[in-house]
Amino acid sequence: MLVLSGKEVATKVRSEVQQECTRFKQETGHIPCLAVVLVGDDPASTTYVASKGKACEEMGFDHRDYRLPADTTEDHIVQLVEQLNADPLVDGILVQLPLPAHLSEKRITNTIRDDKDVDGLHPINIGRLLLGDPSFVACTPAGVMRILDHYQIETSGKEVVVVGRSNIVGKPMAALLMQKGRDATVTICHSRTADVGEHTRKADILVAAIGKPLAITADMVKEGAVVIDVGINRVEDASRKRGYRLVGDVDYDAVAPLSSAITPVPGGIGPMTIAMLMENTLIAAKMHV
Ligand code: GUN
């Protein structure tokens, strides 16, 4: 069994982006800049946003963080996004999800200019992906593809089962895998699938993006499968100083021995998401000069 180290691949991607950024800045005088908007103080989101800022600094990017109270109005956020859209110094805009319940994720992500949508969530970018001509691709599924490429895991003709149908992971993941050139046979399972295990047991490559700790158990996995765990769940753990530990959507200890390759949590897909965000931000900056 091979452990697919997102941490290692992410380090490689970050170092490539950093080098390319140095070259780009010398050539153009433009500094790539990512604006991150965080509404409310969800602890996991706060941690992610801090990591994104740190990564920008490592790349040599500028970044702007907008931290808004949980009761901020939708109009206020839309106005902020419109300001960032119009600002020539800002290349990428990311509104951290999930948003508080009173805010329309759809209205806000639709406001982001498609050439600044480094999250790949704007309808134009989702449409381009579906049509086989992707521009910005959502960072987590892009990170999964990069890991498969790095470890030369073949997708052509494989049965791939994606568990989860979110706009940010499940749907773009399926679109990427079924693309010409990737050529996987893709099944998507979700919360209303009658028997998830019946599908997952057929998977050559299984992608778990459910958001539920340890939801994929050993009896749901075919021997020799490649298992990609997108979940990052906090579970209480009094033995840890911070009071919790991170676990994936896959019961790693039980599933790893069955699999031919598997991503751990932490150190798997999580670091890839940020690395791909850095790559997307540099691509955006190149579009803007
Ligand atoms: N929340 C969890 N992952 C992501 C992500 O990739 N982008 C945004 N905007 N919010 C997230």
- Residue 99: which domain range? 29-117
Cβ atoms of residues 117 and 281 within 8 Å: no
> Whose alpha carbon is nearest atom 2 of ligand 1?
97
Nearest atom, ligand 1, residue 94 CA: 9
Report whether 20 contacts 282 (CB < 8 A): yes
Q: Is 79 a catalytic residue?
A: no
Q: Per the domain annotation, does 287 fall within a domain?
A: no
Distance 97 CA to ligand 1 centre (A): 5
Marked catalytic residue, from 119, 204, 249, 251: 119
Query: 37 and 113: one domain?
Result: yes
pLDDT tens, residue by residue, 26-81? 999 999 999 999 999 999 999 999 999 999 999 999 999 999 999 999 999 999 99
Q: Residue 219 domain-assigned?
A: yes
Give me ligand 1 centre to Cα 105, in Å. 12
| Residue 83: CATH number of its domain | 3.40.50.10860
Asked whether the beta carbons of 164 and 141 are under 8 A apart, the reply is no
Active site residue 83: no
Q: Tell me the average pLDDT of the chain.
A: 98
Q: What is the pLDDT of residues 148-157, one digit of tens each?
A: 999 999 999 9
Residue 207 in domain: yes
**How far does the centroid of ligand 1 lie from the alpha carbon of residue 167, in Å?**
11
Give 211-241 pLDDT, tens digit per residue: 999 999 999 999 999 999 999 999 999 999 9
Query: Ligand 1 center to residue 11 CA distance, Å?
Result: 20
Residue 26 is encoded by which pair of tokens? 């010398």
Burial class (CB in 10 A: 0-12, 13-18, 19+), 29: exposed
Nearest atom of ligand 1 to the alpha carbon of 139: 6
Read off the pLDDT of residues 242-259 as tens digits, 9 standing for 90 and up: 999 999 999 999 999 999
Q: Which of 139, 168, 278 to mutate to test the pocket of ligand 1 (most atoms within 8 A of CB)?
A: 168
Ligand 1 pocket, CB under 6 A: 94-97, 119, 139-140, 168, 273
Calculate helix-pair angle for 6-28, 43-59, nearest 10 degrees: 50
**Which ligand 1 atom lies nearest to the CA of residue 98?**
1
Q: Could you tell me if 246 and 182 lie in one domain? A: yes
Which atom of ligand 1 is least distant from the CA of 119? 7
Name the residue among 210, 217, 225, 218 with its Cα closest to residue 262: 225
Best mutation site among 42, 48, 77, 126 for ligand 1 pocket (most ligand atoms within 8 Å of CB): 48
119 as an active site residue: the answer is: yes
Query: Into how many domains does the chain fold?
Result: 2
**With bands split at pLDDT 50, 70 and 90, how would you rate the model's confidence at 279?**
very high
Residue with tokens 């990737």: 182
pTM of the model: 0.98
Q: Indicate if 168 and 262 belong to the same structural domain.
A: yes
Residues 194 and 105 in one domain: no
Q: Going by C-beta distance under 8 Å and a sequence separation of 6 or more, which residues neighbour residue 136?
A: 114, 117, 118, 119, 120, 122, 125, 280, 283, 284
- Centre of ligand 1 from the C-alpha of residue 96, in Å: 5
- Residue closest via CA to ligand 1's atom 9 equals 96
**What is the Cα–Cα distance from 25 to 47, expressed in whole angstroms?**
28
CATH code: domain of residue 260: 3.40.50.720
Average pLDDT over residues 122-132: 98
* Residue 183: inside a domain: yes
